[in-house]
Every structure is written in structure tokens, then in C-alpha cells.
Amino acid sequence: MTTAREIMTADCACVGEHDTLADAARMMADLGIGSMPICGDDNRLMGMVTDRDIVIRAIAAGRDPAGMTAADLAEGKPVTIGADDDAQEILRTMTEHKVRRLPVIDGHDLVGIVALADVARAMPDRTVGEMVGAISTP
């Protein structure tokens, strides 16, 4: 079975915990992405930040994204997948947590990101359709 390591995007960019949300937004714009991992000073994954988080939880709430750090948005333990977990485990985790992107961890190190599109390319059409439906259901 296909593993996360085989289908992930490796060498993903990380926003630092002390970087501002404005910095994170610029990084996302430069890279053409809508989300990225938040990494601590120890290079451990602290969470994920999305462009939607910046808009809803900062700008719409009247807060200044230049005065908030990425760590301000990191909540709880991030949902991850192991590098050697198979595509079925990726699907289960995405469905259970209703997420479209998962950080891929090898031990304690962030090694990549696996997106719904990556899984879709690796799985039969019917399985992907069922997963998309499950993730998209409120």
C-alpha cells in the first residue's frame, strides 16, 4: 500500500512560532499556498496556520496581523500522520478530523505535507469520492 512518504510534498516551508501573521501571509502568497505548518524554536510542529485563520481569527476579529505571532493561533496538539502510515490511515485521519492537509512526521521531525489531492492521485476513484464527501460534510 502507498505510504505518506511516497505521496507527500517534502521539504515544506514552515512559519516560525515567533513570526507574525503578516509574515505568514507573505510567505503563503510567495509560495502560492493557503496553509503552512507552525514550527517551534526546537523545529517541532506546533500547529497549522491557514489564510482563513489569518482573516477570521485576526483581521475580522479586529486584531493586527503584524502584532500577532503564528504561535498565537496554534491550539492544542496538531493532527498529523506518520511518514510510513498507509493511504488508508491518511484517509481515516483526514475524514475523522475533517482536514484536507496533514503534516507528515517522522519521529518528531516534520518531513512533509500530504494533501487531499496527493491521496486522490494514489487511491481508486470511489474511495476518494467517499472521502471527499465525508470531509466536506458539516
Phi-psi region of 76 (alpha: psi -120 to 50; beta: other; left: phi over 0): left
Let me know the angle formed at the C-alpha of 32 by 9 and 119, rounded to the nearest 5 degrees.
35
Ordered by start, the domain boundaries in the chain are 4-136
How much is the pLDDT for 129? Answer: 58
Convert the pLDDT of each residue in 66-96 to its tens digit.
999 999 988 778 999 999 999 889 989 998 9
CATH code that applies to domain 4-136: 3.10.580.10
Cα atoms in the 13 Å half-sphere on the side-chain side of 134: 16
Average pLDDT in the 52-74 region?
A: 94
Average pLDDT in the 21-40 region?
A: 95
Question: pTM for this one?
Answer: 0.82
How much is the pLDDT for 135? Answer: 63
- Pull the grid cell for residue 136: 466536506
Q: What does the alpha-carbon distance between residue 91 and residue 16 come to, in Å, rounded to a whole number?
A: 28
Residue showing cell 505521496: 7
How much is the pLDDT for 130? Answer: 63
